[in-house]
Amino acid sequence: MKKFTVTLLSVLFMVAMGAGSAFAGGQKEAPSQKGASSASAAAPALKVGMVADVGGLNDHSFNQLTYQGLVDAEKQLGVKGTAVVATGQSDYVPDMTRFAKDGYDLVIGVGFLMKDAVDQVAKEYPNVKFLLIDEPITGIANVTSAVFASQQIGFLAGALAALVEQDTSLNLPGLRHNNTIGVVGGMQIPPVDVYMAGYFQGARYIDPKITVLHGYTGNFNDPASGKSLALAQHSKGADIVYQLAGGTGLGVIQAAKDSGFYAIGADSNQAYLSPEHVLTSTSKLVNVAVFDTVKNLQEGKFDAGVVTYDLQNNGVDISPVLASVPQTIVDKVNALKQQIIDGKITVSPKIPDWVTTGK
């Protein structure tokens, strides 16, 4: 796969001129790009660089939503945004260093795996600001981190799955009521396990005896492996499978579509990928984190340390539920959401012991 750099204004110009794909290697432009406002004449436009991982900018998930925040910042705030897709972990430091050397005001690292690179390059370029998405870094004056209480929305996804599974009066096509649900993770890393931890807890909160099948594909950019693992879980009785695998998770949704069961999307609302088979999606609003950080910097504010996005501050959320699910179930999920916001339910970010012990 060839590395490619995307300067947002050049992409927007190419789209406007009908130039077709704006990215190398057959990648397509993010669907939200429609135009950009000019920078304010009062001051030079901020330059913002983003380093995304191998899943690409159109993974219909984590990377794409993060990139959307950069697109929104360029359109609404007049900043100059540039994104580069790394081909592997060895690219992180060189890509960030290039942005820093080129005078960028803010450099964004997308994902847990970029923590060490952000830590290194930020110390080498103390006059450049850095934003790390999805993993905390503390103690560096020019670094802010956006972390997400993904366990909260994972809990809601697990509760919804269990409620649908246990309601034998529901006559949804393909639902066998086997008291079994599933979850497919990508790499076994903390941001995935935080989501998964909530899913386990939410399911058991509704039904202490429910079986939750789980596994990891070991990657975020191989839909075939996601589809294979989802089908394996379906063969063991799971008719609802939660995908936590980025681009790999597209295979989970495809498996649900092909085999007539249900998927739960992640990181953004993925219902459009298969409207009849996506039960809901859980979204951590990384686009909001990017936009807010850029806006604050433009206004002369920069909060080093960790900023947490959760249900209370609308930094995470659950998407609308499949229309064929009864309102009574939706109301129960909404009630659980409010209880989390009110502090009446606390969801741990750690996977419960019973998952590993089998008890």
The SS3 of residue 243 is: strand
- C-alpha span between 63 and 99 (Å, rounded): 19
- Bridge partners (DSSP) of residue 83 are 6, 50
Domains annotated for the chain, with CATH where assigned, are 4-148+286-309 (3.40.50.2300), 150-283+326-357 (3.40.50.2300)
> pLDDT at position 207, please?
97
Distance, in Å, from the CA atom of 53 to the CA atom of 324, rounded to the nearest integer, reads 36
> Look-up: residue for tokens 């001051």?
43
**CA triplet 150, 153, 159: central angle to 5 degrees?**
135
What order do you get walking across the sheet with 106-110 strand by strand? 4-7, 80-85, 47-52, 106-110, 129-133, 143-148, 305-309
* Residue with token string 């019973």: 354
Specify the DSSP class assigned to residue 174.
Answer: T
pLDDT of residue 54: 76
Closest CA to 241 of 334, 355, 149, 165: 165
Using the structure block, give the residue that is written with the tokens 């901020």. 46
SS3 state of residue 154: helix
pLDDT of residue 358: 66
**CA atoms of 161 and 206, how far apart (whole Å):** 9
CA 127 to the chain's CA centroid = 29
Helix (H) or strand (E) holding 5: strand 4-7
Give the tokens for residue 93.
């430091």
CA angle centred on 345, ends 179 and 267, rounded to 5°: 70
Radius of gyration of the chain (CA): 21
pTM given for the model: 0.81
Name the 3-class secondary structure at 320.
coil
- Give the Cα separation of 32 and 60 in Å (integer): 12
Q: Phi/psi of residue 35, each to 5°?
A: 160, 170
Contact 42, 22 (CB under 8 A): no
Alpha helices per DSSP H over 139-261: 150-166, 190-206, 223-235, 249-259
Q: Please report the pLDDT score of residue 36 as a whole number.
A: 40
Token pair of 60 as six digits: 């219909």
What does the alpha-carbon distance between residue 227 and residue 240 come to, in Å, rounded to a whole number? 13
Strand order in the sheet with 278-284: 211-216, 180-185, 240-244, 262-266, 278-284, 316-318
CA 318 to chain centre: 12
Q: What is the pLDDT along the chain (359 residues), one digit of tens a residue?
A: 334 454 443 333 223 322 222 222 223 333 333 334 444 445 689 999 999 987 778 777 788 999 999 999 999 999 999 999 998 899 999 999 999 999 999 999 999 999 999 999 999 999 999 999 999 999 999 999 999 999 999 999 999 999 999 999 998 999 999 999 999 999 999 999 999 999 999 999 999 999 999 999 999 989 999 999 999 999 999 999 999 998 899 999 999 999 999 999 998 899 999 999 999 999 989 999 999 999 999 999 999 999 999 999 999 999 999 999 999 999 999 999 999 999 999 999 999 998 877 66
Sign of CA dihedral 178, 179, 180, 181: positive
Spatial separation of the C-alpha atoms in residues 252 and 240, rounded to whole Å:
10
Do residues 190 and 135 lie in contact, with contact meaning Cβ atoms separated by under 8 Å? yes
Give me 275's structure tokens.
């409207």
